[in-house]
Amino acid sequence: MAVSKFTPVYKETHSLSSQFSSLTETSVFNSRICFSHPLPRPHNAARVFCSVSQNELQAPVAAQQNDTPKIKHECFGVFCVTYDLVAEEETKSWKKLINVAVSGAAGMISNHLLFKLASGEVFGPDQPIALKLLGSERSFEALEGVAMELEDSLYPLLREVSIGIDPYDVFKGVEWALLIGAKPRGPGMERAALLDVNGQIFAEQGKALNAVASRNVKVLVVGNPCNTNALICMKNAPNIPPKNFHALTRLDENRAKCQVQIFPSMKILFLQGFYSCNASYVFLQLALKAGVFYDKVSNVTIWGNHSTTQVPDFLNAKIGGVPAKEVIQDNHWLENEFTQKVQTRGGALIKKWGRSSAASTAVSIVDAIRSLVTPTPKGDWFSTGVYTTGNPYGIAEDIVFSMPCRSEGDGDYELVEDVIFDDYLRARIKKSEDELLAEKKCVAHLTGEGNAYCDLPGDTMLPGEM
């Protein structure tokens, strides 16, 4: 492998994305870190100031005298200097820079996720990345700290970091938008109120994506209630294909990958590294019951809403290539204990840990992205919340519903058609469908479909919304 020699030079800089579109054996790369400082602008927007301009290199902490308010310019190492990158074979394998936006970037989930993105774990070891971090005025200093930690981590693939509080600035040209930031549900807050408060956030972010993001941006909504927030975001971004919007239900597959309840026959499995497993919780439950390791379990789907009406599908699941119901001949366990454990795992984690999941949520985001950028193993599938219009299952159209998908690894997906249903599965799916249709009516004022009417069928909030 070629060794890259980095020598600082002072010369005119160019856009990094254009640099990667025409690599030569000796090229000039601009790595920079940008900070968005609040200034008097309409609607409390923010303007982005970059340490490196298009025409000159600024000193690391240079204050300029002009008529505008004095702004403190911050630079952190390699993101502020233009380098003459001398590289031979290695640069030929590097891909065009990918721009990834993350909202709620100063939060706990992002604290785990951003370093996975920067390291190459998500998009690959030869994929340079620019991180665009969206926060609030209250979290702005924390965002600066996040940027400092990213710089201190010396990730060679991380070519640019910018932070801001205005989605119209942060989302410019992004190819992926990971929308994590949302308000938690406070004491006494009804689910309908949470839908309205967070719905307004995602309506605004949808408008910003529609205005400035790549036309083929992939959007993954994590902030709860994520299915309906994804629908709101999509409805406010009519220039982006509806198929590009996802709600994170992979967390419901991956929620608690290594449960503490180990049966005596499984103790040796724990000692051999069970604590570092990569299976979904659904996989794990079936594996434990069947007495096999989790890598023998496949074809598991989470149907419906990211709530307690979610439907973990054991009918289509396989264990060692054999239908799970043929291996586990215990319908009562499958329909009751198994389903309940999956639906309530978040609450059990909070009871033990004292807070909702962050690291495992970040892992599930990584899994969700990788399922779209790497080909699905033959015969298998994955779960993600997507737009139902045109679905082959008879599920109500015009909502975001978790369903089984396959991908060729190009960022796109197709719904799986070779699934089977029984009366039990259809009844459970119908319950989650009814809930999402009710949520849709509750946010009609945010989707451009008239006045809102809230009549939610009970409170099915997941503990993580608190």
Give the residue numbers annotated as catalytic, written as ranges.
Answer: 306
Task: Supply the DSSP string of 19-53, one letter for each residue.
Answer: HHHT--SEEEEE-EEEEEEE-S-GGG-EEEEESB-
Taking the alpha carbons at both ends of the chain, their separation in whole angstroms is 49
249-264 burial by CB neighbour count: b if 16+ within 10 A, else e? bbbbbbbbbbbeeeee
Residues 6+ apart with CB under 8 A from 49: 34, 35, 36, 37, 71, 73
Cβ atoms within 10 Å, residue 381: 24
Q: State how far the Cα of 98 lies from the Cα of 92, in Å rounded to an integer.
A: 16
Q: Tokens 């309506």 map to which residue? A: 203
**Which residue's structure tokens are 């030869």?**
126
The two most distant CA atoms of the chain are separated, in Å, by 77
In this structure, the number of other CB atoms found within 10 A of the CB of residue 153 comes to 12
Cβ burial 94-121 (10 Å sphere, 16+ → b, else e): eeebbbbbbbbbbbbbbbbbbbebbbbe
Asked if 255 and 360 count as a contact pair (C-beta separation under 8 A), the reply is yes
Give dist(CA 35, CA 48) in Å, integer: 6
Strand, helix or coil for residue 384: strand
Instruction: Beginning with the edge strand found earlier in the chain, give each strand of the sheet holding 297-298 in spatial order.
Output: 297-298, 318-319, 322-323
